[in-house]
Amino acid sequence: MTAHSPNWRKGAGVAAAVMAATMLAFPPAAPARIDLVTLPGRDATMITVYNSEDITLVREQRTLSFSEGRNQIQFSWANTLIDPTSLRLEFPGSSNLTMVEAVHPPNVSDLVMCNIDATGDTVGEVEISYFISGLTWSARYHVHVNEDETAFDLQQYTTVKNDSGEDFDNTSVRVVVGEINLVEKIADLARRGILKEDAMRRVLRERAAPEALFAMDMAAMEPSTRREAREIVQQAISEYKLYTVDGEVDIRNGWGQRLPSRPIGEIPFDLSYEIDTRNAGGTPMKVYRLRNTTAHELGIDALPEGEWYVVAEDGREGLRYEGSTRHDYVPVGDDIELNLGPDGLVLFEQRLMDQKRPDIEFDNDGNPVGWTLEEVHHLEVRNTRDQTVPVKLTFNKPGSWELISSSMDAQAIDQRTLRWEMDIPATETVTIELKTLSRHGTKQGNEPPIRPMGGPQR
């Protein structure tokens, strides 16, 4: 946002987001005369970006000079989507200023005029806030794993992308985790109330323009406001989490900014493999497990949902790509499981070895109407690595069935699912023999639930 001046509007007819605040005074003695009295710039800007909806709260501070009597501040914008109904003015510390009304003039789009009464000549701070569309944020985590796969360094990033049409320089950034409810989309409000259809099409077209077409003054790049590393402070706001990024940043239209927080080193984790017969045919997946706790050098803040990008030290001062995975929001104390996909070093084979129908039931016409089916399954896990690996094996069999026996104690997850957790020594194979019984036809009904064969081993 900048003051209305012909100098800043470069390249007429090109994609230019324009927000202008023009202050006019109506001296009491001469109500018909309209004079431009100030050209206010922003003192400070803060944006609060949500990721569950396309909405960003912009709050900016300006210092304005008011003359005694009726003053008018005119806001106008173009090529950006602002909800005009959200515009608010507040005067912290200035009791002699009163907002009288906000006027949306006829036949004029993208413009709001605020009439303010001052009881005397005043230089006052004005806080202006409004909702804008087109900014998004996301979390991203870069993980550098040590060669032994026992610990990693973590760099968390907060990425803010700006396709709003507006530049935000020297801006404080806050992001919100949580699902808010909106009755109407900000973009819809902006389109309906301010922009006509053809103008909207132009906005969307211009949003796709590849470059930020005009820059604000470079004075905004004041090095003293930069941070060597940013703290990202989390606080709970109702059921949401608010993350405030330390310092100020420039977020130009058409650009994203990836802001690193302070890196965390030597986070211990457990390497394990997970096998689920419901997923990918039971292909073993390599998983890094840890917990968002102080024991894992975390536990300060909840971790927003985001992509985890994992590279590993190759032992020769180089890096090897391990994989990328998305992870849901992690509250403090909750588990983090980074599924990096198969590495082909732990193998799994599921084989049905035998079937029996020991008791077939017949109806009065002599036709088979029910039977039980006993099956023997072999679940074989081979560890071809040169180290012991923990393995979590989840076996699911559709339909209704009972467990007759398992050669290794199993944990019942639900009526169709069993789980084993085991440590498999280097180059060894574990085979679990599982006997199941299912009932068909008239034999169905009144089956006992799965009998767990014992609790989890770990």
Residues lying near another protein in the complex (CB under 8 A) are found at: 140, 142, 157, 161, 163, 208, 210-212, 217-219, 221, 223, 226-230, 249-250, 252, 254-260, 307, 309, 311, 314, 316, 318-323, 344-345, 347, 351-357, 360, 362, 365-368, 371, 378, 382, 384-386, 427
Task: Identify the residue whose tokens are 């020769």.
Answer: 316
CB of 354 to another protein, least distance (A): 6
Smaller CB separation from another protein, 67 or 383? 383
Smaller CB separation from another protein, 182 or 404? 404
Task: Give the other-Cβ count within 10 Å of 415's Cβ.
Answer: 12
CB of 416 to another protein, least distance (A): 20
Smaller CB separation from another protein, 10 or 196? 10
CB of 386 to another protein, least distance (A): 8
Smaller CB separation from another protein, 281 or 454? 281
Smaller CB separation from another protein, 93 or 223? 223
d(CA 345, CA 149): 14
CB of 420 to another protein, least distance (A): 20
CB of 6 to another protein, least distance (A): 20
Widest CA span in the chain: 110
Which of 190, 181, 193, 210 is CA-nearest to residue 80? 190
Smaller CB separation from another protein, 226 or 278? 226
CB of 361 to another protein, least distance (A): 11
Contacts 24+ apart (CB under 8 A), 153-156: 153/263, 153/264, 153/265, 153/266, 153/267, 154/263, 154/264, 154/265, 154/267, 154/298, 155/260, 155/261, 155/263, 155/264, 156/232, 156/260, 156/261, 156/264, 156/303
d(CA 373, CA 358): 7
CB of 450 to another protein, least distance (A): 22
Tokens representing residue 328 in the block: 């849901």
Task: Identify the residue whose tokens are 């457990």.
Answer: 270
CB of 456 to another protein, least distance (A): 27
Tokens representing residue 394 in the block: 């989840």
Smaller CB separation from another protein, 125 or 307? 307
Smaller CB separation from another protein, 185 or 385? 385
User: What residues does 50 pair with on adjacent strands?
Assistant: 176
Alpha helix ranges (H) inside 194-260: 197-207
CB of 360 to another protein, least distance (A): 6
Residues 6+ apart with CB under 8 A from 224: none
Smaller CB separation from another protein, 40 or 306? 306
Tokens representing residue 196 in the block: 């006509």
d(CA 288, CA 296): 12
Per residue in 9-27, is it b (16+ CB within 10 Å) or e — as a string? eeeeeebbbbbbbbbbbbe
3 state SS of 218: helix
